[in-house]
Amino acid sequence: MLSILVTGSNGQLGMSIQEIKGQFTENIVFHFTDANELDISNEKAVRNFFKNKNYDYCINCAAYTAVDNAEDNKDLAYAINADGSKYLAKVCDEYSCIFIHVSTDFVFDGTKEEPYTTLDQPRPLNIYGASKLEGERLIQKVAKKYFIIRTSWVYSEFGNNFVKTMIKLGKEKDRLDVVSDQIGSPTYARDLAHFLLKIILDKNNKYGIYHFSNEGVLSWYDFAQAIIKLSNSDTKVFPVTSSDYITKASRPKYSVMNKEKTIKTFGIKLEPWQTSLKTCVQNLN
């Protein structure tokens, strides 16, 4: 029986793991914790939390993910995304606990015109991406057994995300303007949760950095159109450029990630984004 600690368990991914955990209770004992119980930015708190416990894996879902707010809260973003990740990884290494960490496509600057591989040089455009990249670097310094999983455009039935926002606005507004010049791939948090648990159940030891999202490439405008259609809304969606929709933090124009390494290493088949989106919208409705 494997013992798994899940940090940040009240976020989208943590909640998605909780949603599917019943499928794995014969093989796994789950321990869910959130910021109220474990402040990962406090090294002493992390050490005390691990005392007299024996976790086989730690899935770190804890993160500061408010991209625009991070521009004004740099210290907090780094404390959680960089220092917190390091403290967890270091203690996991000392306790022979395999560390699984979730990172982001925002480590890239979006200037490439083909999918980013794990060998491409990261160049984040904003504080959020920079803090997540620093977390990756610190993990690699202090831990030997780790998986860093970069993902993108995460959505789910839980928390605040683009899909839920579009459904809500589709009920309130006749028109939506959505950027059409930012290109990427959505990730259904439940698909990501299944993937992380597959790594564990397969006892895979090919540690390193991997990319994960659903299959397919589209713009936020395309994504919004699909969401509105699936939610049976009459709202009209219109494309605008990033220059028409100014945000505090810069976003990469192209953040599609190459997942061939992930598919080959773990023997998985990635769901098309359309299939997973349909499932999520049906659940929300």
Given 55, 128, 188, 221, the catalytic residue:
128
- How far apart CA 40 and CA 1 sit, in angstroms, is 26
Q: Identify the CA nearest to 186 among candidates 283, 273, 105.
A: 273
Q: Look up 128 and say whether it is catalytic.
A: yes
Given phi > 0 = left and psi -120 to 50 = alpha, else beta, which region is 251?
Answer: beta
Catalytic center residues: 128
